[in-house]
Amino acid sequence: MDLTPRTATDASSTPSKPKRKWMPILVVVLALVGGGVVVTQFLTSAIDYYCNVDEVGVRDGCSGERRMRVQGVVEQKSVKKVDGATTFSLDYNKKSLQVVYEGDPGGVFQECIPVVAHGRIVNGVFESNRIEVKHSNQYVEKNAKRLDAANKEAAACSVLAG
C-alpha cells in the first residue's frame, strides 16, 4: 500500500460533483405555485356569501357584483310578472332589495314568506337565478336565529295583509 501524497491531480481520479438539474425542479415549483393560485381563485369564486337584505352593501362579502345568497321576506303586493321574469321586493329589518328572477319561481313561492335568492347585484338590482322557499332541517338546526327573525318578519307582513 502506497501512502505517499499525490502531487498531480488526475482528472480521472478526482470524483466530480453531480450537476443539479435545475430545469425540472423549476418546472415542478412553477407547477405547484400555478396550481395553488388556480385552486385559491376557484375556491374564492365558488363561495356564495349568505346575507340578509339589511347586510347587502354593508357587510364584507355582501357587496359588489359577487355571487351571494340573500334572505328576506317577499314584500306584500310586490310580485309582478314582466316579460317572462318575476320581479319582487325582499324585506328584512326595514331594508328592501329589488329582485329579478328569470322565469317563475313556482312551488310555494308567494308574498309574505321568507325566501333565499341566489344571484348577484347588477346596477342596484339583485339578479337571481335560484329561489329557495323551504329550508331543510339541516338549515334550521344551523341557523335557528336567522329563521326565527325571518318568520317574525313574515308574520308581521301577514298581519298587514289581513
3-state secondary structure 84-110: CEEEEEEEECCEEEEEEEECCCCCCCC
Q: In which band, very low, low, confident or very high, does the pLDDT at 10 lie, cut at 50, 70 and 90?
A: low
Q: Is residue 135 part of a domain?
A: yes
In whole angstroms, give the CA distance from residue 66 to residue 50: 11
Placement of cell 393560485 in the chain: 37
Q: Is residue 16 part of a domain?
A: no
Q: Is residue 1 part of a domain?
A: no
Query: What total of structural domains would you count in the chain?
Result: 1
Q: What CATH number does the domain containing 78 carry?
A: 2.40.50.140
Range of the domain at 108: 49-161
Q: In which band, very low, low, confident or very high, does the pLDDT at 46 lie, cut at 50, 70 and 90?
A: low
Q: Is residue 31 part of a domain?
A: no
Average pLDDT of span 43-47? 61
pLDDT of residue 134: 61
pLDDT digits (tens, 9 = 90+) for 111-151: 888 899 999 888 889 999 988 886 555 555 566 777 777 77
Average pLDDT of span 49-62? 84
In whole angstroms, give the CA distance from residue 123 to residue 119: 13
Q: Is residue 13 part of a domain?
A: no
